[in-house]
Amino acid sequence: MQRFFITGLGIGQVVSWGTIYYAFPVVADRMGIDLGATRTELYVAATIAFLVAAVAAYPVGAWIDRGHGRIVMSVGAALSALLLFAWSQATSLSQLYLLFAGIGIAQALCLYEPAFAVVARRYGRDARSGITALTLWGGFASTVFVPLTEFLAERFGWRNAIASLGAINLLFALVPYLLVIRANQDVPLEHAEAPAARGPVHEAIRTPSFWALLVAFVSYYCAFMVVTYHLYPLLRERGFDAATVVTAIALIGPAQVAGRVVMWAVAARISVAQLGIAIFVGFPLALYALAVLPTVFAWLVAWAIFHGAINGVMTIVRGLAVPELVTRRAYGTVNALLAAPSNVVKALAPLGAAIVWQASESYGPVLAGCILISVVGTLGFGAAVALARRTHE
């Protein structure tokens, strides 16, 4: 039954991520021509979605902690489909912005945070294996949907492509979520009180390791989003040709999956604390390597694989950090509290980097800032591990 549960939830995650997260940049240029909008104006829509998702994260986590995961994720899939259909008919920026506010709600309802909370309720103390397996599925979202969306947009136009993604949501996200998420199959709670009660949440935010983790993940996602959104122009500025850059970027997604597969193989022999420290140390090293990388294709390929593997495993660390280092109670609510500031940073960091680049006309200061911020994240995670050990002694 657990395999059926993870398979169904995994298929839904591939579709949810592929349609309401990865599709936007694929159709952005075509959409800009159609709407008469600049790229900057279009990407305001993505920023709106991130900000709304950050605000919605807490109540969504609380609902799942009360046993409403099936309703939450099914409504998210249905809402995604409706909004994709509406997006395909958008004729102005104002309509697009309004629709992406709704897509932000859909992201909060059916991407990793709610999915991890659903898995935590089903698996209990064994959530580590379920979360790791789910991230293996999620890693294929870009691999499947970026080329699929590109094909549909090229063949039938961006509007028909987005409408098609809406139909795919109804069949391959809504249906699996309805079939596999069952509150009556969840592991019984260890405590008699309601999981979303104020007690466990207040206890978590009074735990020093919670705040250290918050610093760690906010720092990480700040640097990560800057590199993600600016990697193409950054590498072009470094002297790599366009074809080389595209090839390297295409390797990052498969490397993320490969990193998660390795994690799956060694999961029984390494703790979340050890894994997290390794990843948080590796991330600033990857950024430093990007800053000094020679303009040689083989070196860039090696960097892309290393960077992708780090970021792939980081998703697992994010999903497991709360029960391992903070609390096993009220997972959905506590994890949502931890994720909300990161979602705000995801929305604002790329814009901040663009402002720094415009002022300096170079990605040097941008990369230097990212390296410094990532080191802060490393220190934050190390502090979280030390504080958690002290608390549990």
* CA atoms of 205 and 199, how far apart (whole Å): 10
State how far the Cα of 97 lies from the Cα of 35, in Å rounded to an integer: 13
Q: 388 near 209, Cβ under 8 Å?
A: yes
Size (the chain), residues: 393
User: Which residues, at least 6 apart from 242, have a Cβ–Cβ distance to it below 8 Å?
Assistant: 236
- Asked if residues 69 and 75 have their Cβ atoms less than 8 Å apart, the reply is no
Q: Identify the residue whose tokens are 């019984």.
A: 188
For the chain, list the domains and their CATH numbers.
2-182 (1.20.1250.20), 198-392 (1.20.1250.20)
pLDDT over 90 for what percent of the chain? 54
Number of H helices, E strands in the chain: 17, 0
Give the model's pLDDT for residue 190. 54
Q: What's residue 319's pLDDT?
A: 87
Stretches in the chain below the pLDDT threshold 50:
191-197
pLDDT confidence of residue 189? 59
pLDDT in the model for residue 87: 98
pTM of the prediction?
Answer: 0.84
Residue 196's pLDDT is 46
